[in-house]
Amino acid sequence: MPEIYHFKGGIHPPEHKATTAGLPLQTAPLQESYMVPLIQHIGAEPSVVVKKKDRVCKGQLLAEAGGFVSSPIHAPTSGTVKNIGECRSPSGKTTAAIEITSDGEDEFDSGLTPIDNWQEHDAKELIDRISSAGIVGMGGAAFPTHVKLSPPPSKTIDTLIINGAECEPCLTADHRLMLEEREKIIAGARLLGHILGVDPEKGIYLAIEDNKPDAMEQMEEVIASREINLAQVPTNYPQGAEKQLIYALTGRQVPSGGLPMDVGCVVQNVATARAVAEAVTEGMPLLERPLTITGTPMMRAGNWRHRIGTTLETVIRLAGGIKQQPAKLIIGGPMMGIAVSSLDIPIVKGTSGIVLQSREEVSQFTSGPCISCGRCVDNCPMRIMPGSLSKYIENERFDLAEQWNVMDCIECGCCAYVCPTSRPLVQHFKRAKTEITARRKAAAAKKEETGDSDNK
Amino acid sequence: MNGVNVQLPDTSQLIVSSSPHLHDRQNARKIMLTIILTLLPACVVGVYLFGWQAAKVLILTSLACVVLERLFCKWRGSRATTEDGSALLTGLLLGMVLPAASPWWICLLGALLAMGLGKHLYGGLGYNIFNPALVGRAALLIAFPQYMTTWAEPMPGKLFPDAVTTATPLDQISQGATAQATNYWDFFLGNMPGCIGETSALALLAGGAVLVYFRYIRWQMPVSYIGTVALITGIAYLAAPETNATPLFHVLTGGLILGAVYMATDPVTSPMSIKGVWIGGAVCGIITAAIRLGGNYPEGVNFSILFMNALVPLIDRYTPNKPFGHADKPRTEKGQK
């Protein structure tokens, strides 16, 4: 067991995991149609390679990556392309999507040949496979995995962390995955380690929060040969956040504005590791994902495998519907998820859960002035000053907010969770980050313009 | 499956708001009311020692502050913040730092100064620079020293005590008396002349322990403040034991414990980071000790906390936490990407 470094700050919200932690992942039955959004990742929009009324097989390419930082999408089942149009996105706007009508055959042909002896293949080939299988980070951020696996030659990667922390309250899908598909997760971990050239015994870690001792035990059994290292990390939200997890296992701090690769680390979620293993050894693109459907208003909370493109309505219907009207419908976990007001939003590659909250559970208050109590300061895992920042942003002093490191905010929500006057701190920081990014872009564009005119 | 009778959410009733969607259910009202509750034992001691007039002062200042809060909020056209309990807390604290024999108009004037000059002039809760109760008391002390330094002899258990005036232990020290016959046990329990709520170290420390347990105040503030006073008065005592009182005497007498536990820890007017709290406490301690040992006033808690309050913006500026992932400087230089 490696030495664990404790990051400063963090909170202990009620976990609400007991409801679903013991329930095995159920595979959803085949649906009549799927709505597959084009952009399910961070990066460029993929370009569609099918036409309306085309017949497609399960796993067939629907749209190819629109650049290096992009990811292709594939048909979740066999059938016909009903429409290439739009669907609702979690933000409430619409986004480009392809609708597939199922033919009920579920005939698989991804065109990707299984690679059995991956140890004998070089990294480039395997990265290409991961890229063409449309694998993105399944922990929530949905950053294309092949990009994370392709650090520039100047960066040496010595540590690969497989993230099984699952620190978000309510969510248990990763937990179930570790219990039920440990072999695939470990195979994926070793495969990723092979690609990155990381020494498995020294540099591959599987990190699990100590609130999941059964997952720890299960993993210990199969890791007995010490192929990779198990690391039990303390339950402290946001332990599973990339920067906090890297710190916990290595004591290294990802520099402000930097990436994990700057400190020689790559972090991949357990579901991603599993998807990587399937992509390589089975030629299976990313077509489905595990997710938790939970909350007191749900008739039957549980863990499911849903295909990408299944709408929230179907997801809730399959879980028996609701027993009381929810006040909030959240995509993701309750700390960082997005509250939505529509049921026609599809499950995407980054959807880790659906959480419904009843009226009594919804923490909606009128916000008050900052009383400078410092609770946010004490609990911020990025060690910035949320209280003061929120005051700057209220006064639209984005320059001060930038100076005082608002860009370091990871939007984990610890500050707002403990704020006694219920200030919408995360909302302020999201606003400031958007504003500052736009200003930086504008400034860079202006600089380029003036630079050009100087040259003339 | 039972696809027909499945009930789905009515999307028109769904609330949309920014994450996080959980809250620890702590709120300013809960915090303020808990602080008020933990103050009550010290108030009971005050009333037990000084009789009905102490109760009268406490009730007058508390009621006046709540009424004034409502009036000021209405006048400023802002949402009434009386329900958060902060005005009641200010009123109670103000009463606790007044002498028991204070006339009614001193109480009302103090409340007016505290709420008006101390709080609403700056924009109400969260925006005031100085601790409102201490602003009220400091103004009274300067304007009406005769009322603010007339101390009733404690007569435990007497509801209508005889009007016998006396001097506080700190007065006696300041007037040159040496503290030979000090009974620390009496000081600890609170059996000494002084402001209504400041006498019982036991009651105040017990209340403070509750607040630390709930994390409503930071223990670093009282430890830093009281520690600094003890350190400096300790050095002074070692240097000249015949003229200076012991550090324990300084810790137990006057308003130090009330100030360190309940006033210097006021969230609005104290530093944000733990590092800042240590410094703020030390500033209070240095000034309190300086006034007590060398100043004209026998007691320095009131002014030292106000002085610290004035320094808070500066302290906050130089004591932020070191952000994660920043090798050295806590603050990004302007224009740096």
Quickly state the pLDDT bin for B161 (edges 50, 70, 90): confident
Which residues, in sequence order, are CB contacts of A188 under 8 Å at separation 6+?
A: A162, A268, A272, A273, A274, A275, A276, A277
The two three-digit tokens of residue A376, written as one number: 């946010």
Contact A385 B6 (CB under 8 A): no
Residue closest to A181 by CA, chosen among A215, A153, A226, A152: A215
Mapping DSSP to helix (H, G, I), strand (E, B) and coil, where does residue A88 land? Answer: strand
ipTM exceeding cut-off 0.95 for this assembly: no
Contact A92 B16 (CB under 8 A): yes
What span, in angstroms and rounded, lies between the C-alpha atoms of A105 and A79?
A: 8
Quickly state the pLDDT bin for B140 (edges 50, 70, 90): very high
Q: Residue B263: its pLDDT value, please?
A: 96
| pLDDT tens column, A64-75 | 998 999 999 999
Other residues' Cβ atoms within 10 Å of the Cβ of residue A307: 24
What span, in angstroms and rounded, lies between the C-alpha atoms of B217 and B206?
A: 13
The two three-digit tokens of residue B241, written as one number: 């034991």
Q: Residue B1: its pLDDT value, please?
A: 46
| pLDDT tens column, B296-320 | 888 899 999 999 999 999 999 999 9
Quickly state the pLDDT bin for B179 (edges 50, 70, 90): low
Contacting residues of B for A375, CB less than 8 Å apart: 26, 215
Nearest chain A Cα to B318, which residue?
A404
Residue closest to B323 by CA, chosen among A240, A429, A377, A392: A377
Contact A416 B30 (CB under 8 A): no
Contacting residues of A for B1, CB less than 8 Å apart: 318, 320
Q: Residue B181: its pLDDT value, please?
A: 58
| E-assigned strand segments in A308-371 | 328-331, 338-340, 353-357
Mapping DSSP to helix (H, G, I), strand (E, B) and coil, where does residue A412 land? Answer: coil
Would you say the C-alpha torsion A179, A184, A185, A187 has a positive or negative sign? positive
CA angle A287, A292, A298 (to 5 degrees): 125
Q: Residue A447: its pLDDT value, please?
A: 84
> Please, are residues B132 and B263 in contact by the beta-carbon 8 Å criterion?
no
Residue closest to A384 by CA, chosen among A433, A335, A337, A422: A433
| DSSP class per residue in A166-186 | --STT--HHHHHHHH-HHHHH
Q: Residue A392: its pLDDT value, please?
A: 95
Amino acid at A408: D
Comparing CB atoms, the residue among A8, A325, A402 nearest residue B332 is A402
Comparing CB atoms, the residue among B125, B325, B332 nearest residue A369 is B125
Does residue B220 carry a pLDDT above 70? Answer: yes
Q: Residue B331: its pLDDT value, please?
A: 53
Q: Which of residues 66-85 of B touch A (CB under 8 A)?
A: 81, 84
Amino acid at B209: A
Phi and psi at residue B167, to the nearest 5°:
-115, 150
Helix axes A173-180, A182-196, angle to 10 degrees: 90
| DSSP class per residue in A59-80 | T-EEEE-SSSSB--EE-SSSEE
Q: What is the DSSP letter of B113?
A: I
Any chain A CB within 8 A of the CB of B119? no
Cβ burial B214-248 (10 Å sphere, 16+ → b, else e): eebbbbbbbebbbbbbbebbbebbeeeeeebbbbb
Q: Residue B186: its pLDDT value, please?
A: 86
What span, in angstroms and rounded, lies between the C-alpha atoms of B49 and B43?
A: 10
Pairing mode, strands A61-64 and A47-48: antiparallel
B255 exposed, middle or buried (CB, 10 Å; 0-12, 13-18, 19+)? buried
Q: Residue A226: its pLDDT value, please?
A: 60
What span, in angstroms and rounded, lies between the C-alpha atoms of B7 and B254?
A: 67
A324 exposed, middle or buried (CB, 10 Å; 0-12, 13-18, 19+)? middle
Residue closest to A346 by CA, chosen among A333, A361, A356, A331: A331
For the CA atoms of B283, A7, A370, B303, what is the dihedral angle to 10 degrees? -10
What span, in angstroms and rounded, lies between the C-alpha atoms of A421 and B84?
A: 10
Contact A343 B332 (CB under 8 A): no
The two three-digit tokens of residue A214, written as one number: 């059964």
Q: Residue B241: its pLDDT value, please?
A: 87
Task: Share the mean pLDDT of chain B.
Answer: 90
Q: Residue B177: its pLDDT value, please?
A: 67
Mutate to test the interface with A, among B2, B22, B83, B120 (most CBs of A within 10 A): B22
What span, in angstroms and rounded, lies between the C-alpha atoms of A100 and A34?
A: 5
Other residues' Cβ atoms within 10 Å of the Cβ of residue B33: 15
| pLDDT tens column, B71-112 | 999 998 887 777 889 999 999 999 999 999 999 999 999 999
Contacting residues of B for A8, CB less than 8 Å apart: 321, 324
Alpha-helical regions (H) of A199-269: 200-203, 213-222, 242-250
Does residue B175 carry a pLDDT above 80? Answer: no
> Please, are residues B49 and B191 in contact by the beta-carbon 8 Å criterion?
yes
**Residue ranges of chain A whose pLDDT lies below 70:** 1, 224-226, 364, 451-456
Q: Residue B2: its pLDDT value, please?
A: 47
Question: How far is Cα of residue A325 from the mean position of the Cα atoms in its chain?
Answer: 28
C-alpha count within 13 angstroms, C-beta hemisphere, residue B166: 15
Any chain A CB within 8 A of the CB of B146? no
Contacting residues of B for A238, CB less than 8 Å apart: none
The two three-digit tokens of residue B162, written as one number: 């005889």
Q: Residue B162: its pLDDT value, please?
A: 77
| DSSP class per residue in B196-245 | TTTS-HHHHHHHHHHHHHTTSS-THHHHHHHHHHHHHHHHHHHH-TTTS-
Contact B18 A430 (CB under 8 A): yes
Q: Residue A366: its pLDDT value, please?
A: 80
The two three-digit tokens of residue B160, written as one number: 């209508």
| pLDDT tens column, B240-255 | 888 888 999 999 989 9
Quickly state the pLDDT bin for B332 (edges 50, 70, 90): low
For residue B102, the distance in angstroms to the closest alpha carbon of chain A comes to 31
Q: Residue B54: its pLDDT value, please?
A: 94
Would you say the C-alpha torsion A185, A186, A192, A195 has a positive or negative sign? negative
Helix axes B28-50, B52-76, angle to 10 degrees: 150
The model's pTM is: 0.91
Residue closest to B194 by CA, chosen among B298, B275, B120, B268: B298
C-alpha count within 13 angstroms, C-beta hemisphere, residue B134: 25
Comparing CB atoms, the residue among A8, A299, A334 nearest residue B20 is A334
Q: Residue A224: its pLDDT value, please?
A: 64
End-to-end CA, chain A: 62
CA angle A178, A181, A184 (to 5 degrees): 110
What kind and span of H or E run contains A162?
strand A159-164
Arithmetic mean of pLDDT, B156-176? 80
Comparing CB atoms, the residue among B2, B18, B325 nearest residue A255 is B325
Quickly state the pLDDT bin for B333 (edges 50, 70, 90): very low
